A and B are shown apart, each in its own frame.
Chain A
Amino acid sequence: MEFAISDLLNSLRHPPLIFHLAYSDTKARYKRSMLGPLWLTLGAAIGVVGLGLVWSQLLNQRRDQLIPSLTVGLLLWQFIAGCVTESTSVFVRQAQIIRNLRLPFFIHPIQLIARQTITLAHNLLVLIVVLMVYPQPVSWATLLCLPGLAIVLANLLWLSILLGIIGARFRDVEQIVQSLMPIIFFLTPVIYKAGHAGVNQAIIWMNPFTYFIALVREPIFGTIPDGFVYIVAIMMALIGWLVTLAMFNRHAPRLAFWV
């Protein structure tokens, strides 16, 4: 474990670097477009409006109920799916840095999460507009979305590191994950809610992403998530980190040869 832990601690000494990289990567991506990073916001807005109109008809639900919950769900899903799909190539994309500079490996997954968080922050604009159109009651329970988000981030970080290592060694993993994500989207209560009739509850709660969405979305709408949601998510984080650190410790010294 020694190697993994010293790498992690070293990474935590580099926050300015990580945020600069995340920021300059986001900037570079939209450098030559007129709207710049606002394209992120616009893309999310189009998704919310389109899916909101279609699904409120299909599910026969009132728009003022469906659209706010769909917006939160969709923004969270884009964030989570963005982290997961990009994590398979998180080390491979940074091959040039890994093969030329001696830096802790953990900065790359942390940078990925930071970059996706920047995107999420841009997308919050959509949520604000939606909440102005369809106001929601706010209570103290709403604040619980923040610890919920922290648990989600802790889980996403180990998941990105693990997928990053596997993805560097086996290049098929990127394609596998990319083709699985759309299915997982429908198995995750993004459009509908976990308690809906006609949804197989066993499958829904087998899906780890259900917990991630529930931890953040339910408090926003004033419901406190069940205790077991917290327990499962925290257990996932603990076991996930243990497995990831052990795996990292074993394989990361060879990472420079793999990328």
Chain B
Amino acid sequence: MASLIFDNVTVAYPIYNAHSQSLRNQLVRFGTGGRIGGGAGTIVTVTALDNVSFNLRSGDAVGLIGHNGAGKSTLLRTMAGIYSACAGRIRRTGSVATVFELGAGMDPELSGYENIMRMLLLMGLSKARAKANLPAIEDFSELGDFLALPVRTYSSGMTMRLMFAVATSIRPEILLIDEMFGTGDASFQQKAETRMHDWIASSDIFVFASHDLGLVKRLCNRLFRLEHGSIYEDDINLL
């Protein structure tokens, strides 16, 4: 049974500009008692999530909507345990797989096959299990002979096919996907949608951030709307 519980979680992160990230600036500030350069030492903090609470259980397929910068990606990263909360409690049970940035964990110089191994190992599989997953990924990605070529020669659509095939080849209990379907062609989008349907049917937690309301409505059974770091749950049937 997978579950994901957020209890009054706040995530704020610092934005270091070139100024405050330099050691010289910190030393100068130290040497002058912190009064030089008119606030050069102050760090801008962005509160990306503000007192967010929700409770996800197995079988929940959540669509995450909100305009650019509303905090969707931050929320997904916090769900994955990558970003740490500065207040509140997060309880997570179940293994997590993420599809956030295109090409994450890949080495562009290595071939598709070598990258599949690399990503599967990064996702925590043993070498033997990773090798066993290879044919299914080969099949689903439909990249054929391109898998023997370095990933730097791939188009973004092809990279996305590979990433999606790898991420969904293992069956994590919690799957987090950031908007990424823009780059796939129509037939692959169809295929990916079918696979996600299977996924959701096998009653795990699925969170999907997207601007494509139609897709969200087809895939999800709950709808979270993010606005300025706050979360509102809407009725998905009204979408």
Contacts and interface: CB of A to CB of B under 8 A. Distances in A.
Interface string B73-114: 000010011111000000000001010110111010110001
Contact of B22 (A16, A27, A170): A170
Interface stretch (B121-129, B136-144, B203-211, B227-235): B121-129
A207 to B, nearest CB: 22
A170 B23 contact: yes
A20 B24 contact: no
Contacts of B217: none
Q: Which of A14, A25, A27, A102 has the most CB of B within 10 A?
A: A102
B44 to A, nearest CB: 12
Contact of A101 (B21, B82, B150): B82
A172 B110 CA distance: 31
A258 B105 contact: no
B84 A253 contact: yes
B222 interface: no
A256 interface: yes
B13 interface: yes
B123 to A, nearest CB: 7
A109 to B, nearest CB: 16
B126 A172 contact: no
A170 B41 CA distance: 13
A99 B103 CA distance: 12
A208 to B, nearest CB: 21
B57 interface: no
Given A27-B110, A97-B105, A100-B105, A176 B23 contact: yes
B16 interface: yes
Q: Which of A14, A31, A101, A169 has the most CB of B within 10 A?
A: A101
Interface residues of B, number: 34
Given A16-B127, A169-B21, A170-B26, A25 B82 contact: no
A253 to B, nearest CB: 4
Contacts of B226: none
Interface string A200-224: 0000000000000000000000000
A100 B98 contact: yes
A28 B109 CA distance: 6
Contacts, number: 86
Given A16-B121, A257-B13, A101 B105 contact: yes
B117 interface: yes
A24 B120 CA distance: 14
A170 B26 CA distance: 9
Interface in B7-36: 13-14, 16, 21-24, 26
B127 A97 contact: no
B118 to A, nearest CB: 6
A101 B107 contact: no
Interface in B33-90: 77, 80-84
Nearest to A14: B124
B101 A96 contact: yes
B225 to A, nearest CB: 24
Contacts of A253: 84
A199 to B, nearest CB: 32
Contact of A25 (B98, B105, B107, B127): B107
B21 A171 contact: yes
B16 to A, nearest CB: 7
A234 interface: no
Contact of B107 (A28, A32, A102): A28
B26 A97 contact: no
Contacts of A124: none
Contacts of B14: 254, 257
Contacts of B23: 170, 172-173, 176
Contacts of B107: 24-25, 28
Contacts of A170: 21-23, 26
Given A20-B127, A27-B110, 5 more contacts: A20-B118, A25-B107, A100-B100, A101-B104, A172-B22
3 shortest interchain CB distances as A-B pairs: A100-B104, A28-B109, A253-B84
22 contacts: A16-B126, A17-B122, A17-B124, A20-B117, A24-B117, A27-B110, A28-B107, A28-B109, A28-B110, A32-B109, A96-B105, A97-B104, A99-B77, A100-B104, A101-B80, A101-B105, A102-B81, A169-B21, A171-B22, A253-B84, A256-B77, A256-B84
Interface of B: 13-14, 16, 21-24, 26, 77, 80-84, 96, 98, 100-101, 103-105, 107, 109-110, 114, 117-118, 121-124, 126-127, 150
